[in-house]
Amino acid sequence: MRPRQDINRVTRSKEDAKAAYNRLCKWYDIITIGSEGRYLQLGLSKLNVKEGEKVLEIGFGTGQGVLSLAKAVGINGRVYGIDLSEGMLRLAQAKIDGAGLKERVELKCGDAMVLPFEFGSLDSVFMSFTLELFDTPEIPIMLGECKRVLGVGGRICVVAMSKPRELKLAVRIYEWVHDKFPVYVDCRPIFAR
Protein backbone atom coordinates (compact mmCIF):
# COMPACT_ATOMS: atom_id res chain seq x y z
CA MET A 1 0.00 0.00 0.00
CA ARG A 2 1.31 3.42 -0.95
CA PRO A 3 1.53 6.12 1.73
CA ARG A 4 -1.21 8.72 1.90
CA GLN A 5 -0.86 11.75 -0.30
CA ASP A 6 -1.26 15.28 0.97
CA ILE A 7 -4.60 17.00 0.73
CA ASN A 8 -4.72 19.68 -1.95
CA ARG A 9 -4.75 23.17 -0.51
CA VAL A 10 -7.51 25.70 -1.04
CA THR A 11 -5.81 28.57 -2.82
CA ARG A 12 -8.65 30.96 -3.51
CA SER A 13 -9.68 33.69 -1.11
CA LYS A 14 -12.94 33.69 0.80
CA GLU A 15 -14.01 36.71 -1.24
CA ASP A 16 -13.42 34.73 -4.46
CA ALA A 17 -15.39 31.81 -3.02
CA LYS A 18 -18.23 34.12 -2.03
CA ALA A 19 -18.33 35.67 -5.51
CA ALA A 20 -18.30 32.23 -7.17
CA TYR A 21 -21.22 30.97 -5.07
CA ASN A 22 -23.14 34.20 -5.62
CA ARG A 23 -22.80 33.61 -9.39
CA LEU A 24 -23.57 29.90 -9.15
CA CYS A 25 -26.45 29.97 -6.66
CA LYS A 26 -29.35 29.97 -9.12
CA TRP A 27 -27.95 26.88 -10.88
CA TYR A 28 -26.62 25.08 -7.82
CA ASP A 29 -29.57 22.73 -7.22
CA ILE A 30 -29.61 21.66 -10.86
CA ILE A 31 -25.85 21.02 -10.89
CA THR A 32 -25.62 19.14 -7.59
CA ILE A 33 -28.91 17.38 -6.94
CA GLY A 34 -27.81 14.18 -8.69
CA SER A 35 -24.41 14.07 -7.02
CA GLU A 36 -25.05 15.54 -3.55
CA GLY A 37 -28.76 15.14 -2.81
CA ARG A 38 -28.78 11.51 -1.66
CA TYR A 39 -25.71 12.01 0.55
CA LEU A 40 -27.28 15.09 2.12
CA GLN A 41 -30.39 13.06 2.98
CA LEU A 42 -28.29 10.16 4.28
CA GLY A 43 -26.36 12.56 6.54
CA LEU A 44 -29.57 14.11 7.86
CA SER A 45 -30.89 10.63 8.59
CA LYS A 46 -27.71 9.73 10.52
CA LEU A 47 -27.86 12.98 12.52
CA ASN A 48 -31.36 11.98 13.62
CA VAL A 49 -32.54 15.41 14.78
CA LYS A 50 -35.33 15.32 17.35
CA GLU A 51 -38.23 17.65 17.94
CA GLY A 52 -37.29 20.63 20.11
CA GLU A 53 -33.56 20.55 19.33
CA LYS A 54 -31.33 23.48 18.35
CA VAL A 55 -29.39 22.68 15.19
CA LEU A 56 -26.81 24.54 13.11
CA GLU A 57 -26.10 23.89 9.45
CA ILE A 58 -22.77 25.25 8.25
CA GLY A 59 -22.72 26.03 4.53
CA PHE A 60 -26.48 25.68 4.07
CA GLY A 61 -26.34 26.56 0.36
CA THR A 62 -29.77 26.75 -1.26
CA GLY A 63 -31.48 25.46 1.87
CA GLN A 64 -32.24 21.81 1.14
CA GLY A 65 -30.80 20.66 4.48
CA VAL A 66 -32.18 23.59 6.47
CA LEU A 67 -35.66 22.85 5.15
CA SER A 68 -35.46 19.21 6.30
CA LEU A 69 -33.99 20.23 9.65
CA ALA A 70 -36.73 22.82 10.22
CA LYS A 71 -39.38 20.14 9.73
CA ALA A 72 -37.53 17.76 12.09
CA VAL A 73 -37.15 20.19 15.02
CA GLY A 74 -40.87 20.99 15.09
CA ILE A 75 -42.46 24.10 16.52
CA ASN A 76 -40.36 24.06 19.70
CA GLY A 77 -36.99 23.63 17.97
CA ARG A 78 -34.72 26.06 16.19
CA VAL A 79 -32.50 25.78 13.13
CA TYR A 80 -29.61 28.15 12.51
CA GLY A 81 -27.60 28.41 9.35
CA ILE A 82 -24.42 30.15 8.30
CA ASP A 83 -23.16 30.50 4.74
CA LEU A 84 -20.60 32.71 3.01
CA SER A 85 -22.84 33.61 0.05
CA GLU A 86 -25.61 36.23 0.06
CA GLY A 87 -27.06 34.60 -3.07
CA MET A 88 -27.39 31.27 -1.30
CA LEU A 89 -28.92 33.03 1.71
CA ARG A 90 -31.61 34.64 -0.47
CA LEU A 91 -32.52 31.32 -2.14
CA ALA A 92 -32.58 29.39 1.13
CA GLN A 93 -34.65 32.07 2.87
CA ALA A 94 -37.19 32.01 0.02
CA LYS A 95 -37.56 28.22 0.41
CA ILE A 96 -38.01 28.54 4.18
CA ASP A 97 -40.54 31.36 3.81
CA GLY A 98 -42.41 29.47 1.08
CA ALA A 99 -42.69 26.41 3.32
CA GLY A 100 -44.07 28.52 6.19
CA LEU A 101 -41.14 27.66 8.48
CA LYS A 102 -39.50 31.06 8.99
CA GLU A 103 -40.33 31.12 12.74
CA ARG A 104 -38.07 28.07 13.22
CA VAL A 105 -35.10 29.18 11.14
CA GLU A 106 -32.47 31.92 11.44
CA LEU A 107 -30.01 32.20 8.55
CA LYS A 108 -26.90 34.36 8.56
CA CYS A 109 -24.27 35.27 6.04
CA GLY A 110 -20.79 34.83 7.46
CA ASP A 111 -17.60 32.83 7.86
CA ALA A 112 -17.90 29.67 9.97
CA MET A 113 -14.36 30.04 11.32
CA VAL A 114 -15.84 31.94 14.26
CA LEU A 115 -19.35 30.71 14.97
CA PRO A 116 -21.69 33.31 16.50
CA PHE A 117 -23.04 30.99 19.21
CA GLU A 118 -22.46 30.55 22.93
CA PHE A 119 -20.47 27.67 24.39
CA GLY A 120 -22.59 24.51 24.54
CA SER A 121 -25.71 26.17 23.13
CA LEU A 122 -26.55 23.68 20.34
CA ASP A 123 -27.69 20.07 20.20
CA SER A 124 -26.21 19.28 16.81
CA VAL A 125 -24.18 20.63 13.90
CA PHE A 126 -24.59 19.52 10.29
CA MET A 127 -22.54 20.23 7.20
CA SER A 128 -22.73 18.68 3.77
CA PHE A 129 -19.92 19.10 1.24
CA THR A 130 -18.67 22.12 3.18
CA LEU A 131 -15.65 20.98 5.19
CA GLU A 132 -13.73 20.36 1.95
CA LEU A 133 -14.05 24.05 1.06
CA PHE A 134 -11.90 25.15 4.00
CA ASP A 135 -8.12 25.22 3.60
CA THR A 136 -6.31 22.35 5.29
CA PRO A 137 -5.03 24.34 8.34
CA GLU A 138 -8.53 25.78 8.87
CA ILE A 139 -10.27 22.40 9.18
CA PRO A 140 -9.25 21.61 12.79
CA ILE A 141 -10.00 25.21 13.83
CA MET A 142 -13.48 25.05 12.32
CA LEU A 143 -14.15 21.63 13.88
CA GLY A 144 -12.99 23.09 17.21
CA GLU A 145 -15.61 25.81 16.82
CA CYS A 146 -18.23 23.10 16.24
CA LYS A 147 -17.14 21.33 19.42
CA ARG A 148 -17.26 24.61 21.35
CA VAL A 149 -20.89 25.35 20.45
CA LEU A 150 -22.17 21.79 21.05
CA GLY A 151 -23.71 21.01 24.41
CA VAL A 152 -23.11 17.84 26.46
CA GLY A 153 -24.09 14.88 24.29
CA GLY A 154 -24.11 17.10 21.20
CA ARG A 155 -23.76 15.52 17.78
CA ILE A 156 -22.05 16.50 14.58
CA CYS A 157 -22.59 15.06 11.12
CA VAL A 158 -20.15 15.85 8.35
CA VAL A 159 -20.97 14.69 4.83
CA ALA A 160 -17.69 14.98 2.96
CA MET A 161 -15.78 13.91 -0.11
CA SER A 162 -13.23 11.58 1.46
CA LYS A 163 -9.85 10.93 -0.06
CA PRO A 164 -9.12 7.20 -0.39
CA ARG A 165 -5.87 5.72 0.86
CA GLU A 166 -5.03 4.47 -2.61
CA LEU A 167 -5.59 7.14 -5.22
CA LYS A 168 -7.53 5.97 -8.23
CA LEU A 169 -7.23 7.65 -11.60
CA ALA A 170 -10.59 9.44 -11.20
CA VAL A 171 -9.45 11.03 -7.92
CA ARG A 172 -6.14 12.11 -9.45
CA ILE A 173 -7.94 13.72 -12.40
CA TYR A 174 -10.43 15.42 -10.09
CA GLU A 175 -7.61 16.82 -7.92
CA TRP A 176 -5.74 18.02 -11.02
CA VAL A 177 -8.87 19.86 -12.19
CA HIS A 178 -9.26 21.33 -8.68
CA ASP A 179 -5.66 22.61 -8.81
CA LYS A 180 -6.03 24.12 -12.28
CA PHE A 181 -9.60 25.46 -12.04
CA PRO A 182 -10.41 26.07 -8.36
CA VAL A 183 -13.09 28.62 -9.22
CA TYR A 184 -15.14 25.90 -10.94
CA VAL A 185 -14.12 22.83 -8.92
CA ASP A 186 -13.61 24.18 -5.42
CA CYS A 187 -14.42 21.04 -3.44
CA ARG A 188 -11.52 18.61 -3.02
CA PRO A 189 -11.23 15.24 -1.29
CA ILE A 190 -10.03 15.37 2.32
CA PHE A 191 -9.14 12.70 4.87
CA ALA A 192 -12.58 12.75 6.48
CA ARG A 193 -11.67 10.59 9.48
**How do the domains of the chain map onto residue ranges?**
14-160
Per-residue model confidence as pLDDT tens digits over 130-182: 888 888 899 999 999 999 999 999 999 999 877 666 666 666 666 676 677 66
Paired strand residues for 54: 78
Q: Which of 56, 40, 81, 50 is nearest to 148 (CA)?
A: 56
Residue 20's pLDDT is 83
Distance of alpha carbon 67 from alpha carbon 93, whole angstroms = 10
User: 82 burial class (0-12, 13-18, 19+ CB within 10 angstroms)?
Assistant: buried
Q: Is 120 left (phi over 0), alpha (psi -120 to 50) or beta?
A: left
Residues (pLDDT < 70) of the chain are 1-5, 31-35, 163-175, 177-178, 181-193
Half-sphere exposure of 25 (CA within 13 A, CB side): 23
- What is the structure's pLDDT at 166? 67
3-state secondary structure of 7: coil
pLDDT of residue 89: 97
The CATH number of domain 14-160 is 3.40.50.150: yes
